[in-house]
Structure 1
Amino acid sequence: MTGENAGSLEFVDRRTVGQILLGFGVAAVVLYLLVDFVGTAEVQARLTGSEWGWLAVGCLSTALCLIAWGKAWQIVLSVAGINERFSRLVVTYFAATFANYVTPLGQAGGEPFIAYVLSRDTDASYQDSLASVVTADLLNLFPFVTFAGVGFAALLYQAQLPAAIEPLAGGLVVLSVGVPVVAAVGWRFRAPLKRGLLGLAAPVARRTRLLTLDGLRERLHETEAAFQRIARDRRALVKALSFSYVGWVFFALPLYAAAMAVGESIPLLLVFFIVPASTLAGLVPSPGGSGAVEATLGLLVYTLTPIDPVGATAIAILYRVASYVFALVVGGGAALYVIKRN
């Protein structure tokens, strides 16, 4: 192990792990307060009386979701000239998902970290890895907008949009429209943005040997070239987009399975609104939005359906077990395997 890698691991041990543990601790307190407010004994009774077969269905759906998104990842990487066996790459994707899910603020922009994991585990450069990861995430916005829009339209048609969730609905619209617009504007004016970034980095480069303007300029040029290579193959991007849609379907279905597990039912159109809306809570600075996502899910289910608060809380917890905890367990195993094979 080189001194550089050792220093990196030491940083992870002392700071990142501490932040992760603190984030999980805060999330546990929030979840405890939520369950205590609703009724601990009642929620526990609903959970223990659940049909665990439906929870298994939810876990399987999460696995299929990650596999589909991993396939979309492989297609985008192949456009960038990085050809990896899917059996190998899907393990890397699970490991990267684990890293993203345990890192505070990972849900609010974990692409650089995921690109680092990918570049270390494949022959891809960091610039190609980052371009492919960002492209895959942008492709995932299309099904996000589609499913959220269909569910939102269904709610408006049925006049079932309570005032309590109007801010969430507004945030969903802003996010689904704003991110593609920002990405498009940023790409259109990439030259001025590059000059601005180099200008901001100049004072830092004058004070340290760790950063040089020539090196940063070269990295930005390589990243731009990687995006251009990916953008030229539109057929491959459409194919990747189809897998993104499939992944989003399997990403949302665990909520339906969680409701069935406690003897309740949530219409699929509503599922496809609630799940994207709850992802806004994933922007909070806790691992995977833990605590905030459960509270938001419980509120949305209670507000938009006839399900009582106890049932809504149980559904939110079971959904997170199937979609988040399961992904952590499987992704953690994949991360250990990736470390071992490297």
Structure 2
Amino acid sequence: MQIPGRDGLTRRDLLWYGITGLLFAGLLYFADTGEFFRALGRVDRSLFAVAVAIGLSSLFVWAWVWHRFFGQLGIETTVSRTIRLFLTGHFLNSITPLGQFGGEPVMAYLVSEATDSEYEEALAAVVSSDMVNAVPFFTFTIGGVGYLYLFGSLQAFLVEVGVLAVAILTLGGGLAYLLWSPDSTLGRAATRLFAGLEARFDRGEALFQSLQERVERVEALFEKAGRDRRFLVTTVTVSHLAIVAQIVSLYVVFFAMGLEPTIVPLYFIVNLSTIATLSPTPGGSGTYEAAFSWLMTLFYSVDLATALTAAVLFRLTTYWPGLVLGFGTLLTLDRDGEAEPPEEPEL
């Protein structure tokens, strides 16, 4: 992952930034730009400030999960430094096109440099934390679909979303089990793979032996991270508070806009629009706002301008403040010499 402004922008970066700009321009065009700005002007600023404070708390919940795994793996660091590292990672992933795809190796490098820990330890902690922090989006979605099935009306697309959420949670849970379980399933698979590759090549015995030792080391650290089941259950349970904070934040945003919020639509809007952050644009920008606006017009009888206003305001409660804080923490890490972002982390 490159850091824009430090190593320069590649053509791919410029392409995705351009696509993001076009998505925003298209949304504003179809939403009626004048009505959009009038809706922004009617927002209650005091209530919106409350929404920002609540929304930001979700970032600190996710940082707490990081700190929990740091302690579990013996990585010595303070709470404040953990928060700074997490916010730095949030900043780097959010400004970098494709940053949401596989940013863990870069973050593991930053953590290892800032805490003087081994890279493998940092990687196990970061990947484990990200898996735990992803769980609530799927459990909340499945719970919401189940609630509507039992007590309300269930639209066809929500049934498909529920099935997809169950499938992803099952696959993710299976991967987490393999990573955290002590039965060395992945290690044995890697051993067979390296043995097969070594048999096909006359040279490279030392390389394959080194890779095998590295895999065994990483596997042992993941097993250590997931050894305590009570620790995992507690951490996953508390991580759900981040989504609760975002739902409450959006609830307050609606009040600030003069809209009448209802909890079930807010619940789905927050969880389902998050899927759009997995797009290749920086931080899911453009695609997130488009998905949020579509979901809002689906659940509420509002025009696109109002829906887009809500989307932008909600992003201002978590995403954009997180960028500002993350940029500041990145500067402090560099200034203190705690970490220098890598060109290409070595796995």
Query: Does TM-score exceed 0.5, indicating one fold?
Result: yes
Percent identity over the alignment is: 30
| 1:71 alignment partner in structure 2 | 64
Q: Shift of the alpha carbon at 1:294?
A: 0.5
Distance 2:72 2:16 in 1: 37
Q: Shift of the alpha carbon at 1:142?
A: 3.3
Secondary structure of the 1:322 match is: coil
**Residue 23 of structure 2 is aligned to residue 30 of structure 1:** yes
Q: Shift of the alpha carbon at 1:252?
A: 3.3
Q: 4+ residue stretches of structure 1 with deviation over 6 A?
A: 8-12, 199-203, 205-208
Distance 1:261 1:17 in 2: 40
Structure 1 pair 243–292 and aligned structure 2 pair: CA distance change class (3 A): same
Q: Which region of structure 1 is more displaced relative to structure 2, 46-55 or 212-221?
A: 212-221
Structure 1 pair 278–96 and aligned structure 2 pair: CA distance change class (3 A): same
Letter in 1 for 2:80: S
Q: Which residues in structure 2 correspond to 1:1-342 (within 5 Å)?
A: 13-14=6-7, 19-157=12-150, 159-163=152-156, 168-184=161-177, 189-195=185-191, 198=194, 212-342=207-337
Distance 1:340 1:172 in 2: 42
In the alignment, is the contact (CA less than 8 A) between 1:151 and 1:270 conserved in 2?
A: no
Q: Shift of the alpha carbon at 1:11?
A: 10
Q: Deviations over 1:201-249 (max 9, x none)?
A: 879x9999xx933332222122111111112223333332243122222
Q: Deviations over 1:245-296 (max 9, x none)?
A: 2222223333223222211133233322222211211121111111111100
Structure 1 pair 237–158 and aligned structure 2 pair: CA distance change class (3 A): closer
- The CA RMSD over aligned residues, in Å, is 3.1
Distance 1:206 1:171 in 2: 45
Q: Which region of structure 1 is more displaced relative to structure 2, 238-247 or 193-202?
A: 193-202
TM norm structure 2: 0.84
* Structure 1 stretches lacking a partner, 5+ long: 1-7
Structure 1 pair 54–152 and aligned structure 2 pair: CA distance change class (3 A): farther
Structure 1 pair 197–255 and aligned structure 2 pair: CA distance change class (3 A): farther
TM norm structure 1: 0.85
Distance 2:320 2:3 in 1: 26
In the alignment, is the contact (CA less than 8 A) between 2:98 and 2:280 conserved in 1?
A: yes
In the alignment, is the contact (CA less than 8 A) between 2:30 and 2:304 conserved in 1?
A: no
Q: Shift of the alpha carbon at 1:103?
A: 2.3
In the alignment, is the contact (CA less than 8 A) between 1:73 and 1:240 conserved in 2?
A: no
Distance 2:170 2:266 in 1: 20
Q: Shift of the alpha carbon at 1:308?
A: 3.0
Structure 1 pair 252–37 and aligned structure 2 pair: CA distance change class (3 A): same
